[in-house]
Amino acid sequence: MVEKVKARVQELLASGKVKGFIGLRELHGHIGPYLFTDGGDLDGFVIGDRKAAGDTRYPLNTQLIMISRQYPEETLGVLVRGCDERGLKTLFNTNQLKPEKVVSVGIACPQELADVCECMKPFPEEFVAGEASEARPFGSVERIESIEIGERLKVWLGEFAKCIKCYGCRNICPMCYCPECTLEAKDFQAVGSIASENPIFHLTRALHMAGRCIDCGLCSEACPADIPLRTLYKKIADIVDLEFQYRPGYQDSKGKMSPNVLGEAAKH
Amino acid sequence: MEYRTVLTTCTYCGCGCGFYLEVLDGRVVGTIPCKTNPVSEGKLCVKGWNVHEFIHSPKRLTQPLLRKDGALTPVSWDEALDFTAKRMREIKEANGSDSVAFLASAKVTNEENYLIQKFARAAVGTNNVDHCARL
């Protein structure tokens, strides 16, 4: 699988179609993001499956944004799974990246990963390796909603109480590109004081994920307290879809929002 | 265009969390927790997440300073170490070995911490050894 991806990346770099390719490299037994610039040197190129499928995924779109801002004239390549591609579309939509300056190389996730992620589309529109797995419904949302509402509130407050305010969920998020974050804006947050209390901290972030979260799950993976953030944001995505008929990254290939994006709420 | 990720260990405490420092054109611009690190498994605390911020701080000490006539003055390592050794010897001789204490650090290696406690006990003769990682 990785050989097919490498061949494509090698071709892109050798032909000069991209100046660099943001992917993953394994070095000294560890896997992390890496910018490949020489098609002849793809040593250590991996797709992020170390012990289990997709267990070493990183927010490569974040690196793409950072390098693109420094080199706006250059075209860059990036490794994408289904979620990363949803991210790219949404980042194009919100003018964080230029579609003509990005070449994505897609891989499809195996079923085991799609199952764990409860992914609605575990493959990009075009992929050079892997096979399209079946989509999975948001079972985690259903499970938590089956709990009686008073008890459910207790469950969530218990989860939020574990938070150590590391801001890891915000920091790892490939869709968190705001120059100033509400969670540390001076108007809301005094410098030198502990971050806003629970559950305001988490609900603020959850609301800011509306129309933006592409369900990659990196937040949950980065959380030292194992708070099920992904489940929370999945629910937010369901609400946005219900009210506005919009799910970030699932729209047409040009990434246009559906015309009735404001939905019924606009008539109120 | 040069973007590199450098695998390293957090200097803030003794846990030893692992992360990549992101280096764009020679400047350290970000921190990414390393998912394959057996200690931290892709997670960090708020200090670790911001560890890159002090690297280029103009407030960082880059050379030894010695207070001369009331003002901190840049000096060579040789001068700083000679001065420290001389004063430590004077204090020890005047007030005994236990008038000196050694504060070790979470920001250095196990081997360096071993050396400092060995120096404290064997060379200076005190068990006054503590460290900054009292979490």
What string of DSSP letters covers A67-117? HHHH-TTS-EEEEE-HHHHHHHHHHHHTTSS-GGGEEEEEBPPPHHHHHHH
Q: Taking Cα atoms as reference points, which of B110, B104, B113, B107 lies closest to residue B8?
A: B107
- Asked if A30's CB is within 8 angstroms of B34's CB, the reply is yes
* Among candidates B3, B43, B46 on the partner chain, residue whose Cβ is nearest the Cβ of A222: B43
- Per-residue pLDDT of A100-157, as tens digits, reads 999 999 999 999 999 999 999 999 999 999 999 999 999 999 999 999 999 999 999 9
Mutation target to probe the A interface, by most A beta carbons within 10 A, among B25, B32, B40, B53 is B32
Q: Which residues of A touch B (CB under 8 A)?
A: 19-20, 22, 27-35, 37, 50, 55-58, 63, 66-67, 70-71, 74, 164-168, 171-172, 221-224
User: Is residue B64 less than 8 Å (CB to CB) from chain A?
Assistant: no
User: Is residue B25 less than 8 Å (CB to CB) from chain A?
Assistant: yes
* Among candidates A67, A74, A224 on the partner chain, residue whose Cβ is nearest the Cβ of B24: A67
Query: How many CB pairs below 8 Å do chains A and B form together?
Result: 81
The pLDDT assigned to A253 comes to 41
pLDDT (mean) for A50-57: 92
pLDDT (mean) for B1-17: 90
ipTM of the complex: 0.89
- Per-residue pLDDT of B57-115, as tens digits, reads 999 998 999 999 999 999 999 999 999 999 999 999 999 999 999 999 877 778 999 99
- Per-residue pLDDT of B48-68, as tens digits, reads 999 999 999 999 998 999 999
> Looking at per-residue confidence, does A256 or A166 come out higher?
A166
A261 — pLDDT class (breaks 50, 70, 90): low
Do you know the residue count of chain A? 268
The pLDDT assigned to A157 comes to 96
Is residue B40 within 8 A of residue B49, CB to CB? The reply is: no
The pLDDT assigned to B15 comes to 86
- Asked if A164's CB is within 8 angstroms of B46's CB, the reply is yes
Nearest C-alpha of chain B: how many angstroms from A33?
7
A86 — pLDDT class (breaks 50, 70, 90): very high
Nearest C-alpha of chain B: how many angstroms from A205?
16
Q: Which CATH number is B3-54 given?
A: 2.20.25.90
Residue extents of the structural domains in chain B: 3-54, 65-131
pLDDT (mean) for A202-214: 95
- Percent share of chain A, pLDDT over 90: 80
Is residue A70 within 8 A of residue B24, CB to CB? The reply is: yes
